[in-house]
Structure 1
Amino acid sequence: MPKTKPVLTSREVFARNLRRARRLKDVTQETLALDASVPRAYLSRVERGNINISLDNADALARAIGVALHELVDPAKFAGFDET
């Protein structure tokens, strides 16, 4: 029987997509955090999916990385990006 992938929560999708978008644009956590006016440690926890994020902070991060907020919560948006 084939294994099924677990369904990701919205927080996990946001975390994965933010990290992938940041890496695709070759931006460090430090730079993104500075541009979005959030602490780097906070950004790290967001990217790991460890904390809930407010809409205001999600919007600030999306703007700072240059993607639309809705793209960061779209499970299919960055699905093809390999994170090695």
Structure 2
Amino acid sequence: MAERSQNLQDLFLNSVRKSKNPLTIFLINGVKLTGVVTSFDNFCVLLRRDGHSQLVYKHAISTIMPSQPVQMFDGEESSRES
């Protein structure tokens, strides 16, 4: 079976999920949500903050802004230092 490659969106969301990096999600209607990504799929992102979860549909998201730089690829940090 052919190996399925991940798209940039999945790589980014998986990286912030694993690192538990807090982020801000801006919706297309101007609402600003903050929290930590706990899960995601093709259609939505599960965001957790202060013990509460929010299910956010991806079609409503305009921008995702992490609070810290995101390392998406192995060795990415070391290649910048060279």
Shared fold (TM-score, shorter chain, > 0.5): no
Greater percentage in strand:
2
Greater percentage in helix:
1
Task: Give the TM-score, by structure 2 length.
Answer: 0.39
With CA pairs under 8 Å and 6+ residues apart, which has the higher RCO, 1 or 2?
1
Task: Give the TM-score, by structure 1 length.
Answer: 0.38
